[in-house]
Each structure stands twice: as C-alpha cells, then as structure tokens.
Structure 1
Amino acid sequence: MKKIVSITFIIAVLSAMFAGCNSKKSESDLPRIAIAGIAIESSTFSPAVSHEEAFKTRVGDSVFTYYPFFAPDSGIIDRATWLPTLRGHAMPGGIVTREAYESLVTKTLDMLKDRLPLDGLFFDIHGAMSVQGLDDPEGDFLVRIRQLIGTDVLVSTSMDLHGSVSPRLAQNTDLITCYRLAPHEDAIETKKRAVTNLLDRLENGKGKPAYKAWIPVPILLPGEKTSTRIEPAKSLYAGIPGVIRKDDVIDASIWMSYPWADEPRNHGVVVTYGDDKEAVAEAAEKLAAHFWKVRKEFEFVAPTAPLDECLDKALASTVKPFIISDMGDNPTAGGAGDVTWTLHEIFKRPEFRSPTGKSLIYASIPGEEFVKKALEIGVGGEIDAEAGAAVDNRYAPPIRLKGTITAIEKGNIDAKTEVVVKCGTISVIVTERRKGYHTEEAFTRLGLHPREADIVVVKIGYLEPDLYNMRADWIMASTPGGVDQDLLRLDYKRLNRPIYPLDADMADPDLSARFISSSDEIKQ
C-alpha cells in the first residue's frame, strides 16, 4: 500500500503526539517505542539482483505516513512516544546484494542507537528476503538489533503470510503476527494488530508472553494455490480467531512461506503465544493439524493452462475483458519482470495481425533504451526498437516492437516513464523500470481502457482486488520465469526434505508444539 508523504500530515501527527502526551500523561510516563523494518520478497531462481536503490526508504518522521493508524484521531498515537527509524520496502525482486543489506541494517542500527533507551520495538518486515551469502536475513537483522537495544525491550513483529519464521526469528521476537488474507487486503489491519498487541502488553505490565509455540509444517506452496478467497485456505485462516483467548493465547498465525527461494527456513509454520502453556500448545497444534490435513486440497485460485490454451480461450470468448495472468515472471512475486517469452508467443498469433482482430493489452515489459527512443520520437510517432530480456533472457531474446506510440507518461514512482506502443491490435506497455499493473487507474492514466479491451495480459499471479472485480473471465497461464508456478520444475538443493508437494508420499510429520525460549537470551 502506497501513501503520499504529506508535510501537513506529519505536522498533524507530531502535534497530536505532543498534545496527547500533555493532556493524558507526561512524555516521561509513556513507553518509548521505536519503529524499524526492511521488507522484500526475493527469488533465488531469478537472475535479477536487488540493490539498495530498489528500497523505498522512509526515515524518521516520514515513516508515520506509511501507517494510517498513526493518524491524530487513531487512539494509538498518544499511547507512546514513537521513535521511527528506517522503514524500507522494495518491490519483490531478485536476491539482495550483501552491500545493500549491510547498508540498510547499519543505517537502522545507527538510528536506533540515537533513540535509546527503548521499551518496545515495532519490527515491520516481510519475511522472504534473501541476501547474498546470508541465510535468514530477518533473523540476523533482529539479532543485531537485540544486541544493541537489549533483551528487556518488547519486540512486536508484523509479517506477510508468505514470509518465513525461523526459530531464531521466533526466539528473538516477543509478539509476532502475519496477514490472514491473500490477496493481502488486511495488511494495515495486521500491522495495527502488531502495534496494539505491543501497547497492551506494555500498558498492562505483563510484558513478554510466558510461552511461545512454533510448529514447522513441511508444506511449501505458491500463493496462487493458497489464496484465502477459496478453500481450503479460506477456512484454515478463518479458524485463527477461534483459538485466540485474551492473554491465554494472545495471537496465532500461519505462514505459508515463500517457494521461490531455495533456503532451509522455507516451509509452512504456525506460531502461537500467550500466558497459558496448555492453551498455547493446543492452539498451535490445532492449526498445524488443520494445515496438514488439507494439504492435498490446495488448488490454483483460477483455471490454469499453458499459454496457447489460454489464448485460444480468450480469443473464443464473447465477454470482455478476458484477463490472462502471465505468472512465471510475475514481478510482484519476485520475477525479473522482463521475460519476453509470453510476448513472443502472442505476436506469433495471426489473430492479432488483422485490423479487425481482437484487442489485447499487455502489461508490461521493461525497456530502458526503448523508452529513451520513444521520448525522442514522441506520441503519435512510429517506433521500431527492442525491449525486455536485459536481465532474464533464459527463455527468449528481447522483443522487437514496431508500431505507433500512443502514450508517454513520466513520473511513475515505480516505472518512472511509461510508453504505450500499438502494434496491430496489441497495445504493449513498455516501462523504464519494471512495474506491476494491479489497478484500472494504472491503465486509464495511459489512455488504455481495460474494461473495453477484449484481452488483458498482466504479469501477475492471482488478481489483486481491482482487476479481480473488473474481470469478465480469467485464466492463469503457466509460463516460464523466476517464479515458475510448477515447483517440480525448480532445482531445489537446500530445502529441508521431505516436504509436500515435492515429496508427495511423505509420512505424516510430528506436529506437536515446540516451545521457543524467551528473548531474555539472545540466540544466534
């Protein structure tokens, strides 16, 4: 979720902080809570690499603009002295360079040092970051934070359900939670839950929960098979509130993990915590058993087929828009975003060469040099240039696009400059930097009208709400790329085995609760 940084908003937030402190408690009576986090989903099966500039970092007071629940009338802002440091968020992509990771961590630690002493930390991460030469970077990051802030500080962690929870991460945090919806329409709600759980435990003086249970569930599935829009994930996640019992079981979460990184920590996990040992164990075991029981029921959230079959269905359809998900290179799941294989296949189809053929919008393909040339030519001009496959050319070479430039838009926060080129009945969005297209507005601002198009092909997996609501029909194409949905085609070497579905006939695992020790001792 993106929020526009507003100076007025920041001033209002800061004013509310100080006003709240003066009217209710003095600042010295309020808990001192820092905010920090680095979030990215990184595919190790993609040749792409993520550098520091990929992270959109908010530093200091600008961090507040990312969280609507820090608004002046939220009832949260005046419950603590908030000490934001660095919150970095990158679009999913390739493995993070060690240099970028160390730089972001060092900046965070330096800012935290200036804010000591602390009573609490809101640690906002994704959980699927991969870093060159380092396993479990989120666990490493939290250990280094603990070494600075100490073990008395209460840490509340918010995560994506597609993240991974290592024993080290679980041990060094005190309160941990993750999304319960996929698509993640509850992202802000989850972050608010992490904050309010933290505030409640500080205010009631109970501090760290007495017990934390962690259960690894040997299942690893793509998000497109675990959407909470459909069963069995819908009922699995809907069962979480039923195991929460005030302080006895403060919270419970299920992580699906991330299948496109070849790391030992990647597998399903259930975590519960609270002050009643038996209740915590029972809650964790109930959720883990449910997860394992339904493992064979997970199916793709929409019909799935090879691309040719998807195009056949779309061309034969009488409704529009017919949306095709180009899944294998989905940049919002960690794909490089510049695989041209699907575009090459589309351009082979004679149906799109006829001036009376069906219209198709393709979103999108990056091409920095293509964009530069388009800027020189301008809207209305003819262009003949190549785009794509600058990062991931394993499946197809760059695509030659010859057509009319119908739109040029500058200043997009992700894409920078966007160009639309019409080749026959195909309109291709070419971007200066890779970008995911999830909303109708992202198209209409380029003069495209997806509701009126016969076919819309989007580099995405399951559809985000706006596209989902707009679709007249939808199918997901099994295409190649760094986030290939056919996990059996991926060359895993480091996963903990056996794991379902790679080892489909594996024996039932031990799903009894494993109690994680308190963060009173820092464990590496």
Structure 2
Amino acid sequence: MTPPRIAIGGFMHETNTFAPSKAGLQAFVEGGGFPAMSEGPAMIEALRNVNMGTCGFVEEAERRGWELVPTMWCHASPSAHVTEEAFETVAGKIVAAIEAAGQLDGVYLDLHGAMVAEHADDGEGEIIARVRAVVGPDVPIVASLDLHANVSPRMVAEASALVAYRTYPHVDMAETGRRAAVHLARLVGGAAEFKAFRQIPFLIPIAWQCTDMEPAGSIYALVARLEDGPVTSTSFLCGFPAADFADCGPSVVGYGATQEAADAAADAIVEAVFAARNAFAGKAFDPLDGVREAMRLADGATKPVVISDTQDNPGAGGDSDTTGMLRALVEAGATRAAIGVIVDPAAARTVHEAGVGATVKLSLGGKSNIPGDAPFEGEFEIVSLSDGHLVADGPFYGGARMRLGPSACLRIGGVQVVLGSRKAQMADQEMYRFVGIEPKDQAILVNKSSVHFRADFAPIAETILVCTAPGPMPLDPASLPFTKLRPGVALSPAA
C-alpha cells in the first residue's frame, strides 16, 4: 500500500497590534529564540528534539511511515503586525511548494493562530484559505495552534481540523503536533467528521490564563476528558487579548463523529468557562511595591523570589527593553538580584568595546517610546561578555538553540542585568547562566515574561509575584484602545 503523502509547513507569529515594532522578514529569518527559517528537508532536521508542533508531528508521521513533503517553517518573536512583505514571502513559498508537490493526501500546518499582517487581519485564515484553494475541497488540512490563538470563522471553515495546545506554559507544543498527526490520520483514512465552533464574548488577561493555576487548570482537564468516543478532538483557546481585529478573544473548537457529539462537547466547555469567568484574576504589584515585597519575602528564604515583568513580555509583543523594574530594584536597594533580558544592541556594542572589568556609563533600554518608560541612566560594571549563543533546554523552549547577539552581564549596586541584542522571552534558566549568573543563587529574579517562565522557574522559586511596570502588553486588556472588536465583546472576564 502506498504511504500517504503529507505536505508540512509552518508560519508562526503572535501579533500584538499595539506593540512598538513590526515583524519584518528578517525577524522570521532569525527565528526569535526558536530555530531559524528553514526550507525543504532542512526544516525537519532543524525542528528535531525541539518543543514545537512540527517536531511532534514529524515523529508521529515517521512512526506511521508517511511520505513527508516539507515546504518551509519559520517563527518570529511576538511583535506588532507582520509586514506585508514578510507575510507574502513566507505564505507565498509555502503555498507554491504545496502546489508544486503534486498529488497529496493531506496537509499539516504549524501555526500560531493570532497573526495579524499589515494587509490581512486574519493571517491564519488567509494562509489556510490559500492552501485550500490549491489542494481543493477533499484533501484534509489540519493545523496545530497556540493556546492563545484568536480563532476566526474562516479558519474553522477552511481547515479540516484545528488542534490547540492545552498547557500554558506551553510545554506540550510537540505533543500537540503529535495529536494533530493522529487526527490527520483519521481524516486521511476517510472518517467523516463534524465541526462545532463557539466564540466567547470576553477577553482574558494572559497572566491569569496559566494552566498551572485555577480556573484554567480545571477547564483544560475537562477539555481532555471530553475527547473520547464520538468526540474526536476538543480545544479551548484562551485567545491573545492584544490583537485589534474582529475575532480577538477566547473560543472553543470541537470535532466529532456526529454533529450532536461535537456540539455537546463544545457547549460543555463554554459552560465551564462562563462558570469560571470571575476567577480569571490575580494580584499584581506596582514596581516598587513588588520589589519591596520580594525583598521582604527573600529575607530568610532559601530560594529566589521570582517577579514577572509581565507588561514588557517579549512573548506578547514587547521589545524587552523597558526599565521600570530595573529602576525599582536599584531604588529599593535590592541585593543578590538579577533581571533579564534587557535588549539594547547599541549598549551591547559599547560594552563589548569596553571589555570585562570596565565601568561604563550607559543610557540603557527604554528605546520603545512606551508611555511612562525611559532609558536608565547609570554606571555599570561589565562582569562578563557573551556572543549570545546558548541552548535553552528547559521545559518550555525544549532545547532551542538561541542566538541573542552580543550579550553581557552588567552590575549596578546589588543588581545584575542580562543585556542582549535580540529579544527572546526570559523563560529558561540558561538565559541567566550564559552570562555567568546562577539563578538559584539569587535572592530576586525579575523575568521579562508573563507565564512561560513558570515552567523552568517555578521549581526553584520561593514564590512568584506579578508586577506591572510600564510596557506594551497591559495586564488589563481594558486599557487598550480597541477599534475593531466585534460587537458585544467585553474587555474583561469580570461579569
């Protein structure tokens, strides 16, 4: 029997339409903390043993003996809109390669689900529709999606199935790719399937979407339990609440052997989300209050107190260069404290020219013109230098090979700073160690991340605090100036 021929491709970007910087083609070429852009067979090798959907899909496909037709895969750090040039270049190559592949039995797409391009608000809907136009109505298309996907009716209509992550931090990205392959196998085998799609009319702050906390933990346990018998796949997507387009927000997608089964599963998840809507909340501190609380808790603690600098999360569109938390650490007189990654390529060049041991006066960070933020003016000791190459082998990045560009460890008072030239979310302990900082030895760690850091840092943390220094990803979506949301969508889950 001839094995199925399956085309695979990936184009991943989470778009914060309110962020300061757009994602051009070079951002996808570099990879944004994950593997760099790759094409053809090199794409498969680049993603082996990496926590990404394509990795899990390929492992399952190879186990089943499928013939894979790799097209292109790329990822860029979350930011503002994907430029038209970048979108058309990448989407064009993926679609052209699928068209050139000839007869196919299926297509797998590794997507995020919250991409907004300069000329296309529904980036993934556009990509899936273009692939559908090439392969025709009968070839199954299955896409894996981020838990933060903003799913549109067009995405559901054009794809045969959408399969989403179930953890945040996303430690199951590769596993989701494997589940997508299992689902595609069912469709390639000719199984009939019915769809159910529900959009939820309120936005959920990303810091409170964490599946290690309630209510998300219980909701995702329900999602997994419902996938049984005639219910072939269930996904609850919390949505990315900083994308100004009509379909921003949480959603539920269900698939089943009957329409009744798909509808019942989707409705059960929606009911659970509505029942828990007031529990999507938590405590956040102003920067100085948060640092002082961390210092109090650290006194006598045996593990670091970890602070989330949530509003400058480069995993949600921030440039990783705001200085509010650094300012608070210095003002409070914190000691045995470290913060990272502050991205400032010009400062990194200056530091590398000066060398280890020198003291340099810097105007550090604060280049994104965020209201309430500014460069930090001060004298820093240069403790160490790095070329920015590291392997982030914690549970979130899962072995990703990072290239942060010229980097350094700086010291000002009792505070050490991880300085980098390219942004990546501080979600792995190696992102401190590569410049000589041992995170376990610190009293306070300030991570530019909202939730993903918890996967690698919660096991070493005395406790975790959330702080709201000025940044482009407000903790409260209600503070964002939306203009395109569909009518009836509340900017907060609070009933």
Q: Please indicate, yes or no, whether the TM-score normalized by the shorter chain is above 0.5.
A: yes
Residue 411 of structure 2: aligned partner: 422
- Equivalent residue runs for 1:357-368 within 5 Å: 358-368=335-345
Q: CA 1:329–1:192 in structure 2 vs 1: closer, same or farther (change >3 Å)?
A: same
Match of 1:110 among 76, 96, 117: 96
Distance 1:74 1:257 in 2: 27
Q: For residue 304 of structure 1, give the secondary structure of its aligned residue in structure 2.
A: coil
What letter corresponds to residue 352 of structure 2 in structure 1? L
Residue 434 of structure 1: aligned partner: 423
Report deviation, 1:327.
Answer: 0.9
Match of 1:461 among 450, 462, 474: 450
Kept in 2, the 8 Å contact 1:222–1:259? The answer is yes
Kept in 2, the 8 Å contact 1:321–1:452? The answer is yes
Distance 2:263 2:144 in 1: 21
Residue 344 of structure 1: aligned partner: 327
Distance 1:241 1:299 in 2: 23
Kept in 1, the 8 Å contact 2:57–2:177? The answer is no
Superposition misfits of 4+ residues, deviation over 4 angstroms: 67-75
- Whether 1:481 aligns to 2:454 is no
Q: CA 1:75–1:343 in structure 2 vs 1: closer, same or farther (change >3 Å)?
A: closer
What letter corresponds to residue 428 of structure 1 in structure 2? V
Kept in 2, the 8 Å contact 1:44–1:260? The answer is yes
* RMSD across aligned positions (CA): 1.9
* Range with bigger deviation, 167-176 or 398-407: 398-407
Kept in 2, the 8 Å contact 1:367–1:386? The answer is no
Report deviation, 1:479.
Answer: 2.1
Q: CA 1:132–1:252 in structure 2 vs 1: closer, same or farther (change >3 Å)?
A: same
Residue 178 of structure 2: aligned partner: 192
What letter corresponds to residue 138 of structure 2 in structure 1? D
Q: TM-score, normalised by structure 2?
A: 0.90
Distance 1:474 1:84 in 2: 41
In structure 1, stretches of 5+ residues that fail to align are 1-24, 353-357, 506-524
- Whether 1:398 aligns to 2:375 is yes
Aligned length: 466
- Whether 1:271 aligns to 2:283 is no
Q: CA 1:276–1:71 in structure 2 vs 1: closer, same or farther (change >3 Å)?
A: closer
- Whether 1:240 aligns to 2:227 is no
Kept in 2, the 8 Å contact 1:64–1:70? The answer is no
Kept in 1, the 8 Å contact 2:150–2:237? The answer is yes
Residue 6 of structure 1: aligned partner: none
Kept in 2, the 8 Å contact 1:414–1:435? The answer is no
Q: CA 1:179–1:110 in structure 2 vs 1: closer, same or farther (change >3 Å)?
A: same
* Range with bigger deviation, 254-263 or 105-114: 105-114
Residue 182 of structure 1: aligned partner: 168
Q: CA 1:374–1:175 in structure 2 vs 1: closer, same or farther (change >3 Å)?
A: same
Distance 2:61 2:128 in 1: 28
Distance 1:371 1:260 in 2: 30
- Whether 1:310 aligns to 2:301 is no
Match of 1:201 among 182, 187, 190: 187
Per-residue CA deviation, residues 117-144 of structure 1 (Å, 9 max, x unaligned), is 2110001101111111321010011111
Q: TM-score, normalised by structure 1?
A: 0.85
Q: CA 1:325–1:195 in structure 2 vs 1: closer, same or farther (change >3 Å)?
A: same
- Whether 1:120 aligns to 2:115 is no
Distance 2:419 2:10 in 1: 32
What letter corresponds to residue 493 of structure 1 in structure 2? T
Q: CA 1:136–1:221 in structure 2 vs 1: closer, same or farther (change >3 Å)?
A: same
Residue 155 of structure 2: aligned partner: 169
Match of 1:371 among 348, 352, 377: 348
Report deviation, 1:293.
Answer: 1.6
Residue 327 of structure 1: aligned partner: 310
Distance 2:59 2:458 in 1: 33
Per-residue CA deviation, residues 165-197 of structure 1 (Å, 9 max, x unaligned), is 111000011121101111111111111100121
Q: CA 1:483–1:231 in structure 2 vs 1: closer, same or farther (change >3 Å)?
A: same
Q: CA 1:328–1:75 in structure 2 vs 1: closer, same or farther (change >3 Å)?
A: closer
Report deviation, 1:74.
Answer: 5.6
Report deviation, 1:414.
Answer: 3.7
* Range with bigger deviation, 67-76 or 283-292: 67-76
Match of 1:491 among 478, 481, 484: 481
Kept in 1, the 8 Å contact 2:197–2:252? The answer is yes
Residue 134 of structure 1: aligned partner: 120
Residue 440 of structure 2: aligned partner: 451
Report deviation, 1:411.
Answer: 4.0
Distance 1:305 1:340 in 2: 16
Distance 2:58 2:104 in 1: 22
Report deviation, 1:488.
Answer: 2.2
Kept in 2, the 8 Å contact 1:71–1:77? The answer is no
Report deviation, 1:78.
Answer: 4.5
Distance 1:480 1:396 in 2: 6
Q: For residue 76 of structure 1, give the secondary structure of its aligned residue in structure 2.
A: helix
Distance 1:478 1:88 in 2: 31
Q: CA 1:229–1:72 in structure 2 vs 1: closer, same or farther (change >3 Å)?
A: closer
Kept in 2, the 8 Å contact 1:336–1:392? The answer is no
Residue 43 of structure 1: aligned partner: 16
Report deviation, 1:242.
Answer: 2.5
Q: For residue 397 of structure 1, give the secondary structure of its aligned residue in structure 2.
A: coil
Match of 1:286 among 268, 282, 296: 268
Q: For residue 289 of structure 2, give the secondary structure of its aligned residue in structure 1.
A: helix
Residue 397 of structure 2: aligned partner: none
Kept in 2, the 8 Å contact 1:67–1:188? The answer is no
Residue 79 of structure 2: aligned partner: 93
Match of 1:213 among 196, 203, 209: 196
What letter corresponds to residue 10 of structure 2 in structure 1? G
Distance 1:393 1:374 in 2: 24
Report deviation, 1:225.
Answer: 0.8
Q: CA 1:396–1:143 in structure 2 vs 1: closer, same or farther (change >3 Å)?
A: same
Kept in 2, the 8 Å contact 1:249–1:279? The answer is yes
Distance 1:111 1:264 in 2: 31
Distance 1:74 1:168 in 2: 28
* Range with bigger deviation, 216-225 or 166-175: 216-225
Distance 2:58 2:211 in 1: 33
Distance 1:76 1:498 in 2: 46
What letter corresponds to residue 487 of structure 1 in structure 2? P
Q: For residue 387 of structure 2, give the secondary structure of its aligned residue in structure 1.
A: strand
What letter corresponds to residue 131 of structure 1 in structure 2? A
Distance 1:75 1:34 in 2: 11
Q: CA 1:452–1:197 in structure 2 vs 1: closer, same or farther (change >3 Å)?
A: same
* Range with bigger deviation, 82-91 or 460-469: 460-469
Q: CA 1:131–1:421 in structure 2 vs 1: closer, same or farther (change >3 Å)?
A: same
Distance 1:73 1:227 in 2: 28
